[in-house]
């Protein structure tokens, strides 16, 4: 079967599908490393309906579903200006999320999404693209390094009251 891959820009009405995919993919990646209580608390807060609706209507954030043969396989979220989770400057675009659903991993979709993020950064005349990645997420760190991202620092990330470390990685365009 030939795969048809599409990127579809989300709008505020897509919050339920966004919520479902977010919870599924985040759980798949991080559940083995966190207690059920911490996971439940984080998922309830991070992907709460009103929060997602606000994010989807923020003019400095963009969300894109990646669809394979019309089925949602994952999504990309990018931020500029004050929507960035760290103050990296107006010359930067943040890749906040590349989430791929488990059945669609290892099919080149992450590559397609990082390429889209770079294209968006170029179109917006940004000179840098950056992201945060959990210090123990070795596959993700290798993936981003393959595209020229280099570690430039770190910050704390909280799963409930559990402080974890994200590496900040950046690529100059």
What would the DSSP string read from start to end of 110-149? HHHHHHHHHHHHHHTT-SEEEEEEETT-HHHHHHHHHTT-
pTM of the model: 0.94
- Per residue in 93-122, is it b (16+ CB within 10 Å) or e — as a string? bbbbbbbbbeebeeeebbebbbebbbebbe
**What average pLDDT does the chain have?**
95
For residue 3, pLDDT beyond 90 = no
Instruction: Give the per-residue pLDDT at 1.
Output: 63
Average pLDDT of 94-121?
Answer: 97
For 13-64, write each residue's pLDDT tens digit: 999 999 999 999 999 999 998 999 999 989 999 999 999 999 999 999 999 9
Instruction: Map tokens 């490393």 to a residue.
Output: 33
Domains (ranges, CATH) in the chain?
5-172 (3.40.630.30)
For residue 150, pLDDT beyond 80 = yes
Average pLDDT of 100-120?
Answer: 96
DSSP conformational letter for 30: H
> Whole-angstrom Cα distance, residue 144 to residue 16?
28
Average pLDDT of 103-131?
Answer: 97
Instruction: Give the per-residue pLDDT at 108.
Output: 95
Question: Catalytic positions, please?
Answer: 144
Instruction: Give the per-residue pLDDT at 86.
Output: 93
DSSP conformational letter for 86: S
């Amino acid at each position: 079967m030939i795969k048809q891959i599409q990127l579809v820009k989300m709008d505020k009405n897509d919050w339920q599908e966004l919520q479902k995919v977010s919870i599924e993919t985040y759980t798949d990646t991080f559940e083995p490393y966190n207690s059920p209580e911490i996971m439940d608390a984080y998922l309830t807060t991070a992907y709460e309906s009103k929060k997602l609706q606000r994010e989807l209507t923020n003019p400095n954030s963009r969300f894109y579903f990646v669809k394979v043969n019309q089925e949602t396989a994952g999504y990309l979220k990018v931020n500029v200006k004050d929507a960035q989770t760290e103050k990296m400057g107006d010359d930067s675009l943040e890749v906040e999320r590349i989430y791929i659903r488990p059945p669609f991993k290892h099919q080149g979709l992450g590559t397609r999404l990082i390429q889209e993020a770079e294209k968006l950064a170029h179109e917006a005349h940004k000179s840098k693209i950056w992201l945060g990645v959990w210090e123990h997420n070795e596959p993700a760190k290798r993936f981003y390094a393959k595209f020229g991202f280099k570690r430039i620092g770190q910050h704390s990330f909280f799963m409930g009251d559990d402080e974890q470390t994200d590496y900040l990685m950046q690529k100059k365009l």
